[in-house]
Chain A
Amino acid sequence: MHVMFGFARRETSPALPLEGRESHEDENKAFVERVCLPFLLSSQNEDGGWGFRSETRSRVEASAWALLALRHWNFPTSLTEPISRGLRFLEAAQLPDGSWPASAESREGCWVTSLACWALLGVEEFSKSAGHGLSWLCADQPGESRLWFRLLRRLQGGRRVSSQKDFYYGWSWTSGTASWVEPTSFAVIVLASAVANLLPEAARRSRFAEAMLYDRMCEGGGWNCGNPMVYGVPGEPQVSTTAWALLALRRHAERPENQRSVQWLEQAWPKVPSPTSLALAHLALNASGRGSADLGTALRKALNDSEMPWNVPTAAWATLALCGSRNWLPSGPKQ
């Protein structure tokens, strides 16, 4: 079977008013070209991959984010040399079962498989590798999906500290452990490119996973890393996980849960002025049609003022956010 995957067409954020939009977009793009892209390009290792920070060893997660940012920036032009080297790094890091490990020494696949597949999507030369990874992803079951675990949970009854519905599950960080919001969101996002006739299991798993995400939403909107009940009492949502869940559920933008979560995120980001949280908030709000010039300005300022060394994922997320478009998110499959 010839599997092809595609990204959505390039489009700009519709929420910004026409007046002033161009200048903000110009400032954002200039910042990306002047600061973010040089950082990403200079951080690439000899082996073609990226570490989490400059001069650290290549890791799949950091490499996938850097590649998504660079590929998106170059879209739709042909692949540049750094991108080709990066894609080859990812291909070489793939394990025989189709998954990817978190670190080069490990032989066990994990959540970064979603990210590696995502970075490889749409490149004909690597479509087999991406397809193999997506198949692994569809077969990868979290620990709580197992019968014995469900039985145990039922027997626990009142001792449980959470009220989640056990028949919904998504994806875990590492093999055989429980579902969490972030790895589930990554898988849902990337499997959007491989539904229906290509990978029917992807559609089934994604439906379950979306239900899980809604089940795990905090009451007032937003998500924390795993459960609205933290140690038995209502927990606080987090910017980063809320951003990923909103991106995963973006095709349900009209649902009240999405709208409550967008509102929560809009109120939360000014209180968490770090580059990582601002970049992720910006990505999610752009994709929800609620992009904000203020958020772009705050992100650029946070990056400029940051005293801590930049890390590669944050620079990649900032690049994607400041581009203001959504074509970095996978669309449905090409038939």
Chain B
Amino acid sequence: MPQSTAALIPPFLRPVSRVAIRRVTSYQADIAAVLSETLREFDLPIRDKTVLLKPNLVGFDPLGMMNTHPSVIAATREALLRLGAAVVLIGDGPALERDTQAVLESIRMREFTGPLARIFVDLNVDDVERVSLQTRASRLKELYLPRTVRGADYVVSLAKLKTHHWAGVTLSLKNMFGIVPGGCYGWPKNILHWAGIDRAILDINAAVRPDLAIVDGIVGMEGNGPIQGMSKAGGALIVGDDPVAVDATCARLMELLPEKIKHIARAATLLGHIRPEKIQQIGESIESTRVPFAVIDAFRHLRGTVGSTGLEA
């Protein structure tokens, strides 16, 4: 069972989080080796466990800039198996497209991961369990969540580095929208928008807090994301055991102020760290990997300036 109530800890009681930035500029690189080396530093409790990878599969994406790249998905799976996981499943419930198989074929997933029949779960049509929400940040009191998610010992949010038309950015926290099943809520999962996107993100992550967050920032999306934006080379993989800290780091890497991104700031009250002094950086520094991502006008206020001490409001 993934962390839930135990994960709701105010920042002053939470130990320092760790986030690694690894420079990777191409999907042809040996990503499995990079991730294996990085994940060893986190001493993950996954031996003989069932791990669920939750990539960001949004829609048809022949150009490879909208979804988590299949090479990153396959490499993560391989790295976790090398580290002793018994089973590593891949599961997602695309929000805008009911034909999940067509989405998988559009990104040629099988060519990277091998046969999908036994390792991929369409979370939109999985069996579900009723889960009472503990945070009640949004109007939602309960959600029906997939059994595969609830039954996994360890959940990895495997997001893409993107800006987002409604939420500012979509990273490892927003990526968890995809565990909400279309088979219960439709395509798209409009109930989450009506409940308030920023608040619903907190509720979902409090119900199923990812144990590990990996963001595919090798190529991301800027501007009018998550599907209408422009491809943007980020040249990095961002990895951490705290999804809030990972998202805050990603935002800083994009030259955006995480404190002004509502869902990250809200999640920082209970789910992880947002303050730089509470995040131990491993690998590359933010300064050396920073790439400014364009945002739509509605999110211009997220843009920070690079001062002598880092990103400033």
Contacts and interface: CB of A to CB of B under 8 A. Distances in A.
Given A173-B190, A226-B188, A311-B125, A231 B101 contact: no
A163 interface: no
Contacts of B228: 230-233, 235
Contacts of B112: none
Contact of B184 (A102, A224, A233): A102
Contacts of B188: 180, 225-226
Nearest to A311: B125
A173 B183 contact: no
A309 B125 CA distance: 12
A314 to B, nearest CB: 9
A274 B105 contact: yes
Given A231-B165, A273-B105, A307 B183 contact: no
B42 interface: no
A180 B188 CA distance: 9
Main secondary structure of the interface of A (DSSP, over half): loop
B194 A51 contact: no
Interface string B208-240: 000000000000000010111000000000000
A56 interface: yes
Given A240-B98, A274-B99, A275-B101, A307 B227 contact: no
18 contacts: A53-B125, A102-B183, A102-B184, A105-B128, A105-B130, A173-B185, A174-B185, A174-B190, A178-B194, A180-B187, A183-B186, A231-B165, A231-B224, A232-B296, A240-B99, A276-B98, A307-B115, A308-B120
Given A230-B227, A238-B97, A173 B194 contact: no
Given A52-B125, A276-B101, 14 more contacts: A52-B183, A57-B127, A61-B183, A103-B128, A105-B129, A110-B186, A173-B185, A173-B186, A174-B186, A174-B190, A231-B224, A240-B98, A309-B117, A311-B122
Contacts of B125: 52-53, 56, 62, 311
Contact of A177 (B97, B122, B194): B194
B96 interface: yes
B170 to A, nearest CB: 12
A306 interface: yes
A308 B116 CA distance: 6
A178 B190 contact: yes
* Category for how many chain B residues contact A: 35 or more
Nearest to B129: A105
A239 B98 CA distance: 10
Interface string B117-142: 10010100111111000000000000
Given A105-B144, A232-B165, A233-B224, A173 B187 contact: yes
Contacts of A232: 165, 224, 228, 296
Interface of A: 51-53, 56-57, 59, 61-62, 102-103, 105-106, 110-111, 143, 161, 172-174, 176-178, 180, 182-183, 224-226, 230-233, 235-236, 238-240, 272-277, 306-309, 311
A56 B115 contact: no
B194 A307 contact: no
A239 B191 contact: no
Interface of B: 60, 96-99, 101-102, 104-105, 110, 115-117, 120, 122, 125-130, 144, 165, 183-191, 193-194, 224, 226-228, 296
A176 B190 CA distance: 10
A194 to B, nearest CB: 23
Contacts of A239: 99, 102
Contact of B102 (A103, A183, A274): A274
A276 B226 CA distance: 25
Nearest to A181: B187
Given A225-B188, A274-B102, A56 B224 contact: no
A306 B101 CA distance: 9
Q: Which A-B residue pairs are the 4 nearest by beta carbons?
A: A173-B186, A52-B125, A274-B102, A231-B165
A224 to B, nearest CB: 7
A27 B146 CA distance: 38
Contacts of A174: 185-186, 190-191
